[in-house]
Amino acid sequence: MIKLQEVTKEFNLDQQVITPVKEVSLEIGKGDFVMVIGRSGTGKSTVLNLIAGLIKPTAGTVFVEGRDLQTLSDRDMSKLRSSDMGYVFQFPSLLPSLTIIDNIAVPASFAINKSKDGGRKRAKELLGMLGLGDRLDCYPRHLSAGEQKRAVIARSLMNEPKILLADEPTSDLDEQTEREIMGLLKQINDSGVTIVMVTHSLGLVPFCTRAYSMDKGKLNLTHANNKSGAK
């Protein structure tokens, strides 16, 4: 489903070349829940962005659903992101000028098969499922951090993706909210969605099927489960 082959990514920052990802190879199958763990600045998010096609590798190849991302045009890449991937950013990523229901419905605008109501019905369902059914017409600023995260997860599921990419989805959340969010991601994974999640919290490892630690640009398998752990 997802395959990274000898992928390297370099950035030029102030005339200095940094290499957050060095010759990384990784295979993720359908239904996997993979975590990439590491401290800040170790290149975890870069791996996620490479899989999402939000940046291009300096060397190596990234395949998603058998398609080499580097060969895709911007239009095809956008189509792939819209139809097959959901993305949860680390930072608050709801659009501040839109209500929650409109935020959740945004991906429907990019869907190949557009619904007549602009995705509002599904957005409503998703928000209801995630316990935000009474916050449809609120603006993001009216939601707590945990509610915003749930809304972002709802948005990532809008186009029924096969892959969910989550960048530190529980950062800045209290312990209880963190467990709620992880429970939610687990449910999503159980429904057949492949999840690749980046986190610095080792405590979350029991939720995944495989965990990799990232250090100096390299990925090392640190944990493998046939079944996910703690709830």
Partner 1 sequence: MSIFRLAYNNIRGSAFRSMVIFMCVLGVASFLLGTTLVISGAQNSLNVGIQRLGADILVVPEGAQTQVETALLMGKPTNVWMPDSKVAEIAAIPGVEAVSPQIYLQSLYGAACCSVSEMFLVVYDPATDFTIKPWLEKELGRPLNTGEVIGGSYIFVPTGQTSIKLYGYNTDLVGNLEATGTGIDQTLFMSTATAEAMAKSSLTTAVQPLLIPSGQISEVMVKIVPGADRHKVALDILSGVLGVVPLESPNMFGQFRHQMTGLLWGFVAIMVVFWILSAVLIGLVFSMAANERRREIAVLRALGATRFYVFRSILAEAVILAFSGAVIGVTLATFVIYLFRTYITSSLGMPFLFPGWGSFIGMVAAGTAFILLTVVLAALWPAYRVSRMEPAIAARE
> CA-CA distance, 159 to 154, in Å (whole number)?
10
Q: Which of 8, 23, 55, 61 binds partner 1 (CB under 8 A)?
A: 55
CA separation, residue 34 to residues 121, 164, 206 (Å): 31, 10, 11
Site string for partner 1, 210-229 (x = CB under 8 A): --------------------
Is residue 100 within 8 A of residue 137, CB to CB? The reply is: yes
Q: Which of 30, 56, 142, 216 binds partner 1 (CB under 8 A)?
A: 56
> CA-CA distance, 83 to 87, in Å (whole number)?
12
Nearest approach in angstroms of CB 109 to partner 1 is 5
> In the chain, how many H helices and how many E strands?
6, 10
Q: Which of 5, 8, 58, 83 binds partner 1 (CB under 8 A)?
A: 83
Residue 213, helix vs strand vs coil: strand
Q: Which of 23, 65, 67, 111 binds partner 1 (CB under 8 A)?
A: 111
15: contact with partner 1 by CB under 8 A: no
42: contact with partner 1 by CB under 8 A: no
1: contact with partner 1 by CB under 8 A: no
102: contact with partner 1 by CB under 8 A: yes
148: contact with partner 1 by CB under 8 A: no
71: contact with partner 1 by CB under 8 A: no
45: contact with partner 1 by CB under 8 A: yes
Is residue 137 within 8 A of residue 110, CB to CB? The reply is: no
Q: Which residue has the tokens 């019905």?
A: 121
Angle value at C-alpha 150, between 35 and 215, nearest 5 degrees: 20
- Number of other CB atoms surrounding residue 118 within 10 Å: 15
Residues that bind partner 1 (CB under 8 A): 45-46, 49, 52, 54-56, 74-75, 78-79, 81-83, 87, 89, 91, 93, 95-98, 102, 105-111, 118, 155, 159
